[in-house]
A and B are shown apart, each in its own frame.
Chain A
Amino acid sequence: MKILVAVKRVIDYNVQIRIKEDGSGINTDNVKMSTNPPDDNAIEEAVKLKESGKAKEIVAVTIGEEKAQETVRKALAVGADRGIHIKSENYIEPLGIAKILKKIVEKEKPDLVFLGKQAIDDDCNQTGQMLAALLGWPQGTFASKIEHKNKVIEVTREVDEGLETIEINLPAIITCDLRLNEPRFASLPNIMKAKKKPIEQLNVKDLSVDISNRIQQIKVEEPPKRKAGIKVASVSELVSKLKNEAKVI
């Protein structure tokens, strides 16, 4: 079995986001970037499948600027075999990303594609689903547990009502939840070995995919500051405030 894992470079989750003064976007100058956290889970799950002998090869793919390569390097350091970096300087919406990934899937012919359930920068939660639709493949999204059984894969999904377990045929798309596993650390020797693993670089222009954006971003603003809370003395005061001041009941 061959697994393709899509990874994205995003602002580190510990960094406090700052909006550019002119409202044109987020300030990323000198900001610590990392792998999108659920993508770490995606890589980890692929590596586990390889360690259990069920997968033969793991290919990590990313789309983004030159430095996005670091994200692939990290995937290689924790167990991916080779990497693909599709260079693009501009923001591409999930549909464009899904189309590019489709091209890569057609070329690499994996049995499974792992993605994070969503990226923590734009929170779109669309790429995996769109890729499944474009390929006509079954999808298991928000996976918190997966079990590989010969030609099918059992996916436990984190849904609003609780857990849902589905069985889907391969090839399939799986988007990973943070609960899926505990991503391992990259060890020093493995980071060194990863420096020698191959990363194929492609240019997004050479893929002849329509990646034009459909959405126009007008302005980025901070959400309004939350007002300080107050302490109430009794339940009746709380109820009265909810009724008369907040007008929510």
Chain B
Amino acid sequence: MPREIMEYDVIIVGAGPAGLSTAIKLKQLDSNLNICILEKGAEVGSHILSGNVFETKALDELLPDWKKDGAPVKVKVNKERFLFLGKNKSLSWPTWLLPSVQKNHKNYIISLANLCRWLAEKAEKLGVEIFPGFPASEIIYAKDGSVKGVATLDMGLDKDGNKKEGYEQGMELHAKVTVFAEGCRGHLGKELIKKYNLDKGKDPQQYGIGFKEIWEVSDNQHEEGLVMHTVGWPLDNSTYGGSFIYHAENKQIYIGYVIGLDYKNPYLSPFDEFQRFKTHKKIKKMLEGSKRVAYGARALIEGGFQSLPKMYMPGALLVGCDAGTLNMPKIKGSHTAMKSGIIAAETIVENIKNKIDLSIYEVKFKKSWVYKELYEARNVKPSFSWGKMLGILFTGLDQIIFRGKLPFTLKHKHADHETLKSLDQIKKIEYPKPDGKISFDKTSSVYLTGTNHRENQPVHLQLKDSNLPISYTLEKYDEPAQRYCPVGVYEVQRDKNNLNPNFVINSQNCIHCKACDIKEPSQNITWVTPEGGGGPKYGNM
């Protein structure tokens, strides 16, 4: 049976900061446009996870009255600390010596999920139709090769793809312009980048995996408005990463860890590094005796300027982290994502009204402050491929003295799936057992994410070669999927005699972080959308 078709002026895939900003700006420019946003989460915000110290620049442009309108942007940063951690020591770095991009005194500590919920209300009031629980699973192309729209996933298929009771066929949504705002490593964005060669001549994209927990702490552990970052322990000198600790409202601490997915040791477990980090005496005292109330993880896009693909193609645009607009040294991507959405909206209105080609998106983007930001930030991340100390030294020089204006651009040399060394070249890492108070295991962590996928549906983590995990990846890398997955989706199970390994995918636990799609050394795992509403149910992440 052919699918039902619905026509819109603009379809936006993903109700994150970029997609919602696109929608709001479109309606502000032309209230007659028919706009629809598809969101895979059960509600807006339920798949949003971010630090987040928020720079209001783009929000000021989009909704200048945000303060009066009650935006959940309330806790201004009032104190900053930057620590170098050793195993038992710590060195506090004076904040006046930080590059200006890392100064946060004008910024706010927010929950990005809550901001998105607020933006969604604004968008709906302007007449945007938002459909949570409906993932765009497929791109529809026109005969001329341009993007015509997207299709939503069929609901109610069993694990073999047969129709169950209550089966509901997906539908096609056609639009004049489709905007892809899926966030980092969007699975449709990935397809578009490949199909239209959008990354031609660009450096390989770089990613990180970010963890976040929310703790409810006692008064004496809480300093509302404090922003703290650390580098160093427990990571070794060659692994890129660091922590964030934000003291938010309601006596909550947002604590998290980001590790570059270009790490080399297949035994490295990003999750366990984060758990171990919290046991450092400087950190532990902020959490001791208090309660962890939320956990989550999400890949983030770090390639920046050198890896930014072309963001337009016939009939469609990429915005935000689906393209890769995050500013790594600033550790911020929300304001740049929002701005890219604003520019996309301006482009679309000119395209629909005056038939101006979508390529002006790039012209406008290059004239904007986002481009300048990304340009000045471009050399920081690649310099860390020389090791942490040289990276920090170079960054100081590049960002404080030259302010990003050095006359050369360092390259990202490898994609993240190419960086693992084989077992014979590395040392095994032993992690301490979690204590259940400060550090935890994956099982109790995934429980806090509220993650669920309906049982008996097609597996949404697809293997190109189902034998490869055991026949190759296990032997060469001890199947690192067991460790890079933040919720233990991937397991290698053996029989009683510790023989006959078997690769198991617990896809119902997947929190949609996309780390596997990025890091799998043979690119053997493909993340596709599961049935609508599946995945985590984050609150104020």
Contacts and interface: CB of A to CB of B under 8 A. Distances in A.
B540 A21 contact: no
B43 A32 contact: yes
Interface stretch (A12-20, A94-102, A107-115, A150-158): A12-20
A31 interface: yes
A31 B42 CA distance: 11
Contacts of A29: 539-540
User: Which secondary structure dominates chain A's binding surface?
Assistant: loop
A138 interface: no
Contact of B131 (A14, A31, A183, A188): A188
Contacts of A12: 42, 450, 537
A82 to B, nearest CB: 21
Given A14-B452, A185-B168, A188-B171, A32 B293 contact: no
Contact of A188 (B6, B216, B451): B6
B42 A32 contact: yes
A18 B450 CA distance: 12
B325 interface: no
Contacts of B113: 30
B125 to A, nearest CB: 14
Contacts of B6: 188-189
Interface string A1-22: 0000000000010111010010
Most interface-central of B6, B45, B165, B166 (chain A CB within 10 A)? B166
A90 interface: no
B166 A182 contact: yes
Contacts of A241: none
Contacts of A189: 4, 6, 171
A165 to B, nearest CB: 23
B114 interface: yes
A32 B450 contact: yes
B540 A30 contact: yes
Interface residues of A, number: 20
Contact of A191 (B117, B131, B448, B450): B131
A87 B388 CA distance: 59
Contacts of A21: 216, 251
23 contacts: A12-B42, A14-B537, A15-B450, A16-B448, A16-B450, A18-B293, A21-B251, A29-B540, A32-B42, A32-B46, A34-B42, A182-B164, A182-B165, A183-B166, A184-B168, A185-B155, A185-B156, A185-B532, A187-B171, A188-B6, A188-B131, A188-B134, A188-B152
Interface of B: 4, 6, 42-43, 45-46, 111, 113-114, 117, 129, 131, 134, 152, 155-156, 164-166, 168-169, 171, 216, 251, 293, 447-448, 450-452, 532, 537, 539-540
